Homo-oligomer: A and B are copies of this chain.
Amino acid sequence: MNRQQLRAAIVAKKSFLCVGLDTDITKLPEHLLETEDPVFEFNKAIIDATKDYTVSYKINTAFYEAMGVKGWISLEKTLNYIPKDIFTIADAKRGDIGNTADQYAKTFFHTYPFDSVTVAPYMGHDSVTPFLKYEGKWAIVLGLTSNAGSADFQQQPFKDGKLYEAVLQTVASWGTPENTMFVIGATRIEYLERVRQLIPDHFLLVPGVGAQGGDLQTVAKVAMNNDCGLLVNVSRGVIYAGSGTDFAAAAHDAAKAYQEEMAGLLQPIL
């Protein structure tokens, strides 16, 4: 999916919500555990309940990998089940030397045809550029993450700024706003402001709204650009909104509430 199509989806649905399918087999409603593929059954119900309110689904591969081959089968079925007009993210945070990065790009753009994959920047350009060669596909590179550990390196002095600032500027120079996005945590407003000074045009994948404490209104006010430029991810706040047989209805209501708030925030660009 290219940028124009993504913008069109955002405008059509009046939403920049990304639902994170961090589906943990130990947290599923009990009645699903008797099915052949509980993870897929859960995801299917969540997708049915939320697809009208979300422009993106993010599959956190770790939860599937931990289940071995069964998990990869659930992942593939889930990916195939997502409507084709919804942007898909393999949240895999891969990063390795060129010939290995080629294999990861093949994994998440070809074997499993996601629109995008999250990528770690530590190993530099040859670990990122293999993901930029696929038409209509995206690398979503870690910039400033929302976890406590982002203070260990990302927020520390690097050259004449901070490490995350150098990562944004340097990685942005390897690609374009048509094939590169960044993961930017919503935990501190002054960082969001600084990110938009450095990379005004790029789309940002923003975790940390909801369970991790970020505020949607603030994120939109500070970081929205003319193409919206935001995918705000909510995982637990949607998929585990309920825990019983009504889990899908609860997820529906949670996603709808986010979409309605987002519709108001999108007014300036509609």
Contact = CB atoms under 8 A, between A and B. Distances in A.
B66 A73 contact: no
A60 B99 CA distance: 11
B124 A122 contact: no
Nearest to A94: B93
Given A68-B112, A97-B145, A63 B103 contact: yes
A72 B62 contact: no
Contact of A96 (B66, B93, B124, B159): B93
Interface string A133-151: 0000000001001111111
Interface stretch (A162-170, A217-225, A242-250): A162-170
Q: Which of A24, A67, A124, A127 has the most C-beta atoms of chain B within 10 angstroms of its own C-beta?
A: A124
A100 interface: yes
A62 B107 contact: yes
A67 B63 CA distance: 19
Interface string A230-259: 000000000000000000000000000000
A158 interface: yes
Given A69-B73, A153-B163, A156-B158, A126 B147 contact: yes
Tell me how many chains of this kind the complex includes: 2
A221 to B, nearest CB: 25
Contacts of A73: 69
A145 to B, nearest CB: 5
Interface in A152-180: 152-154, 156-159, 163, 166-167, 170
A124 B151 CA distance: 7
Given A93-B95, A111-B68, A147-B98, A142 B157 contact: no
A67 B103 CA distance: 9
Interface string A90-131: 010111111111011011001110000000111111111000
A127 B142 contact: no
Contacts of A152: 124-125, 170
